[in-house]
Structure formats: structure tokens, C-alpha cells
Amino acid sequence: MPSPELKLLAACCGPLIQAAPRVADALQAPIDWRLLVDRSNAQGTLPLLSRVLTTAGTTRVPPEFLAEIHDKAARKTIRGLVMASELAHVMRNFETAGLTAITFKGPTLAYLAYGDVALRDSADLDIYIPRPQFKTALKLLHSDGYRESSAAFRTSLAGGCEVALKRQNPACEIDLHWQFSPPYFLQFDAARAFRRSVIVQASGLVARTLCTEDLLIYLSIHAARECWAIRPICDVTALLTNQRIDWDDLLRETLRSRCWRAVAVGLRLAANVLDAPVPQDIRRRVDLDQNVRAVAGEFAKYLTGDIADHAGTPGGAMLHLRMLDTRASQARYLWRRAVQPNHLDASFIPLPNALETAYYVIRPLRVACAALGLLRVR
């Protein structure tokens, strides 16, 4: 059963008109306010928590914690507006240069899920650009003062999908993707997503982003790869609550791209943990899948655990395998994750471009070290 702290977070994700009774219900049990504030801060949900507590008008929150929540949330709200402004600037530059960019997560997700670009704390901006246009996009960001966060960045590494860029003044970080996700797990069809993409206009931000159904699929794949946490469950719940979902389209897309189990796990977690509005016929379909039930149960145990990176553990890899539909896809997962090098391998042992093929030997060695608990592997 959801803890009182999770019930409060559930109130954050739904319509404001329902917030007061849901907050009152959660406050019937003792709340660990220090835990709630720390977890909300770490998961980027403090602006939502602040809004709900203000709307509910409750007097049962200890004054010192209420002040801390509102103060930290105000700073994050300002940060969210700054990030939305920077995203608008970058997307305008890309459009002027004739680039076909799609932004996802960040301010556009905040708007679609919560109705306000400032209500979801964003550490960075995620932008997809087709590989043929990647160098041009990188040059545009360089001209704006962005620089690669790691000297190990190489688009030629088979296991890579993005480059992290950082600018000091004004401070901002961008993850520029040439693939939506690493190739070792479930893949997201970028070309199809672009054809189905939509334009979001909010608070001066005009940007192309994923349609609601594709966004739900991407969030589920991304969160499954990361072994789920409160934040993506909140995002999925908010999307289900505040957006119209074409369930027939969603089912067709999940079956076509063979990612049904990952999406079903997300739907089950959102429904069980945060009471998300999943239609009964979809819920029955989710509950009939024994693998989905088992994997969602394992992820639910992680929500209050202390392991920071489940995806980088052997246990996380086993859960990944259980979300893949066929033996062939499981075999591809094991092969790609064991052999295909990424930026972590290049950081582990820097090599010149002429010796890049050596990473196909270095990668398995690094993975073996990680399996023994000596390193983190992704």
C-alpha cells in the first residue's frame, strides 16, 4: 500500500480541485516530513508539493517544513522558467538553421503533464536531432557558449546516444541526442515520432515535442531502463490525469515496437502507487501479464530503498530482461550491453580515434568489474 508520503505526492499529480480531500486523507497518518521534503527535492517534485499544500489550505503541516517547501519550490520555479526561456532560444536557433529538432522531458513535459512549464524541476534540457544534422546543431550550441561536459564524447561509439553539454554563464545543461535512448534496451522510433510530433506553445516557449501517446511510451522505456522512481511515476500519472490518451493508438504502438511490457509496468505502478486513472479494460490487460505484475512489484520495492542506481546492478539487468518480449530481444540486450562501448568506456581508458575498436575489448572487462561491485556500469 502507498505510504502517507506517496499519497501526498499522488495529490500533486491530479486536478487541483481534488487536492484538498486527497491531502486530508494522506494526513490522517503520521508523515515523516523530513523524508518527504528530502525525497521531493531529490525527485524534482517540490514545486508540485508546494502548490498542492497551498491549494489544500491545510494547517497540519509543521510551519518549519512548510516554509522550507515553499522557499525551495520558489527557487525551482524560477529555475524552471529560466530553463523554458533557454529552450525557446535554442529551438528558435535550430529552426532558423533548418534543423528538425524535438525536445522531450523538461519544460514541454511539465506543460503537457502539469499545465505549467515551471511545475516540473528540470536539471537539463533534452533535445533530439537526427544524426546527419548533429554536427550543425553542435556548432550552434558551441556558438552559444556550450561545451562538452566530457572529453570522452564520441558519436561513433556504438553504445552511445547523446552528448552532455554545459554552459557556465548563464548556467544551463543540454543533453543533445542522436538517438532517444541507448541501443542495448528497448528502442524508440525517432523517425516515426517526428511524423507524429506536435507543437507546444506555452509561456513564450514554442517547441516541437512528442505527441502524448509517444511521450508516454518514451517515459515508460526511459524509466524502465532506469528502474523507475517516484518522479517518472508522477509524470506518467499526471499525463494520464491531465491529457486525453488514445488508448487504441497506444496499444498499437506498444505492440508494433514490442515495448508493451515496459509501458504496462509503468501503468501498473502509476495505478497502484499514485492511483492513476487507467481504464478498466487496460488495467485488466496489464494485470493478466504475470511478468508485468512481478517486475512492477520489484520496482515498487525500490521506491523507498537506498540503492541510487538499480539499473547499473545485475539485479537491474535481470529486470530489464524480464521486460523484453522474446528470447531474441533478450539475447540482443545481453550482447549489446556487454560489448557495445559508450562514453563511460572512453572515460575509463581514453584512447585515440585510431584505436577506438579496442573499446570492444575494454567494454566487457569494465562490465565484469562492475558486476563484481568494483565499478558502475551502464
Q: Per-residue pLDDT tens for 100-151?
A: 999 999 999 999 999 888 888 888 999 999 999 999 999 999 999 999 987 7
- Average pLDDT score, the chain: 88
Report if residue 19 sits inside a domain.
yes
Q: Which residues contact 272 (CB under 8 A, 6 or more apart)?
A: 2, 296, 300
Which residues have C-beta within 8 Å of that of residue 112, sequence separation ≥ 6?
200, 209, 212, 215, 239, 242, 243
Domain assignment present for 215 = yes
pLDDT of residue 73: 92
Query: What pLDDT band is residue 164 in, cutting at 50, 70 and 90?
Result: very high
Q: State what percent of residues in the chain have pLDDT above 70.
A: 94
Q: Peptide bond preceding 170: is omega within 30 degrees of 0, i.e. cis?
A: yes
Cα separation, 167 vs 176, whole angstroms: 13
Helix (H), strand (E) at residue 60: none
Task: State mean pLDDT over 187-213.
Answer: 92
- Does the pLDDT of residue 188 top 70, yes or no? yes
Distance separating alpha carbons of residues 84 and 202, to the nearest angstrom: 9
Report the percent of the chain where pLDDT is more than 90.
49
Does residue 364 form part of some domain? no
Decide if 15 is inside a domain: yes
Q: Single out the residue of 9, 10, 200, 28 nearest to residue 103, CA to CA.
A: 200
Beta partners for residue 100, in sequence order: none
Maximum average pLDDT range among 55-69, 236-250, 336-350: 236-250
The reported pLDDT for the residue numbered 83 is 92
C-alpha cell recorded at residue 128: 533530439
B/e letters for 69-84, b = 16+ CB within 10 Å, e = fewer, are bbebbeebbebbbbbb
With H, G, I as helix, E, B as strand and everything else as coil, classify residue 176. strand
Domain count, the chain: 1
pLDDT band of residue 2 (cuts 50, 70, 90) is low
- Amino acid 142: pLDDT: 96
The pLDDT, as a whole number, for residue 213 is: 97
Residue 377 has pLDDT above 70, yes or no: no
Read off the CATH number of the domain in which 223 is found. Answer: 3.30.460.40
Q: Is residue 9 part of a domain?
A: yes
Residue 1: the pLDDT is 53
Mean pLDDT across 88-108 = 95
Give pLDDT tens digits for 299-324.
887 775 544 566 667 778 888 999 98
Q: Among 16, 209, 170, which residue's Cα sits nearest to residue 81? A: 170
Radius of gyration of the CA atoms of the chain, in A: 21
Distance CA(234)–CA(12), nearest Å, equals 8
What's the rounded Cα separation, in Å, for the pair 164 and 173?
A: 7
Comparing 93-97, 238-242, 250-254, 364-368, the range with the smallest average pLDDT is 364-368
Question: Is 229 contained in some domain?
Answer: yes
Residue 214 in any domain: the answer is yes
Is the pTM higher than 0.85? yes
The predicted model gives 158-174 an average pLDDT of 91
pLDDT tens sequence across 334-370: 999 889 998 888 888 888 888 889 999 999 888 887 7
Residue with cell 523507498: 304
Average pLDDT over residues 150-163: 84
The pLDDT of residue 268 is 96
The burial class, CB within 10 Å (0-12 / 13-18 / 19+), for 281 is exposed
> Quick check: is 210 in a domain?
yes
Range of the domain at 42: 4-340
Residue located via cell numbers 523484453: 324
| DSSP per-residue string spanning 309-364 | -GGGSHHHHHHHHHT-SSHHHHHHHHHHHHH---HHHHHHS---GGGGGGHHHHHH
